[in-house]
Structure 1
């Protein structure tokens, strides 16, 4: 279960801060009730030392959980970034190897590779119907590319040249599938839910332990809530490859496509999608 719906990141941040403030108020209310029922008669200095130890331990563990979750999100981001470069290299390699074929086999294959490459630049911004249509067109062209490859290497079957060209195109298709899978991989919901629940519980505990402290200390805890919410929002941003503000650069693919467009190929009417 995902406790934080797929809302805009700024709205997620506001919701987290409000939850922290509300939890802190609940903790302060609970402290007043407990104090009225069972007054604490320990020495003030000893009590403050114990409260400081508890607060430090709780938020130290929170920092560990945030760091662990951030590492997961950053690893997934790095994976998506590397795959873009891998796909650009695979497309360029397959296009160059197709250059060795005779014109009758080379031109259809290079045209198919170039058409497919144009659909591999990931759209920026939130995911919508237009971008979903681009993904579906890319998947259709992937099937078309393999059919063209099979026909182009048929005269060279059993030769090293045919195997080399077929393998290079297969690498293009495989890395494309890996990239699409990486774009749908997210931090497990249980991990994010545990992080958010820990944040809310820690806020309530902080409110409970600082209820009897001066107002300026309790006001400073509000700034702490904002900082903790920002840390979680950053994790959510990294975990949203299709809708976050931290996006994977497409420079490698853009440069590759620009090079492919410089190649002089015969005009070929676009085939309707089926």
Structure 2
């Protein structure tokens, strides 16, 4: 499911739940007398399934929000680390300072584009290769500085550079940290069962009444799915901190 766009996910879930609701209507038409006799038990079952669905949906929403907040924190952390790295280039020799700053002016746009690449494997691979190449070059220049100058100032620059490199892997891992597929499967299963029971227990033949639960539930699931889709959909971590950093180092 991680490869499905949130819009397609919503359409899929809506069709699934509407289908389950009308399957319940078909069952009611075929076995109406038996359903009326067991209406009390059916209502109890309906309440239990809906309660369990609500509990699981709330838990999953909490997971998605937590992951989204973590990705926002990492965006700010990377901007802060790179800002510190930029300031500490002043501790290097003139040639080292200019070389590192030139690399950083190329590096920050690559990091911004890394999230904007969406789900394109080609663009993601390109940005990852550029990130690794620029990090290696910055490390090479810093190592040359350390060879010439073994002093606390160079150590401070190395510390900032190491933090900036570490946070790139943290951001990549956060982008790959998704709600487990088994959780989505259970949500869809419970949603389908709930829609089937509601479709069976409803006495009204109104189409509007029968699609209310599927529409509401599909919208709720799509919202959670969108939060859990860092590279697609409407809800994404904005890059204001990184963009402000880029403006600062280019000025």
TM over 0.5: yes
Matches within 5 A, 1:232-247: 232-247=221-236
Distance in 2 separating the partners of 1:174 and 1:124:
20
2:200 maps to 208
Distance in 2 separating the partners of 1:56 and 1:219:
21
Distance in 2 separating the partners of 1:5 and 1:256:
31
Secondary structure of 1:121 counterpart: helix
Query: In the alignment, does 2:101 pair up with 1:110?
Result: yes
Distance in 1 separating the partners of 2:58 and 2:75:
26
Q: Deviations for 1:137-168, whole angstroms, at most 9, x for unmatched residues?
A: 122212222222211232232x2212111001
Matches within 5 A, 1:144-183: 144-157=137-150, 159-183=151-175
Secondary structure of 1:127 counterpart: coil
1:93 maps to 84
Distance in 2 separating the partners of 1:63 and 1:29:
26
Q: Deviations for 1:213-246, whole angstroms, at most 9, x for unmatched residues?
A: 1224x63231121010001111111111111211
Shift of 1:203: 0.8
1:270 maps to none
Distance 1:40 1:151, change over 3 A: same
Root-mean-square deviation (CA, aligned residues, Å) is 2.2
**The structure with more radius of gyration:** 1
The answer as to whether partners of 1:90 and 1:168 remain within 8 angstroms in 2 is yes
TM-score, scaled relative to structure 1 = 0.83
2:15 maps to 18
Instruction: Give the number of equivalent residue pairs.
Output: 249
Q: Deviations for 1:5-28, whole angstroms, at most 9, x for unmatched residues?
A: 733322221221111121122223
Once the two structures are overlaid, the 10-residue window that deviates more, 115-124 or 242-251, is 115-124
The answer as to whether partners of 1:237 and 1:244 remain within 8 angstroms in 2 is yes
The answer as to whether partners of 1:186 and 1:239 remain within 8 angstroms in 2 is yes
Shift of 1:58: 2.1
TM-score, scaled relative to structure 2 = 0.90
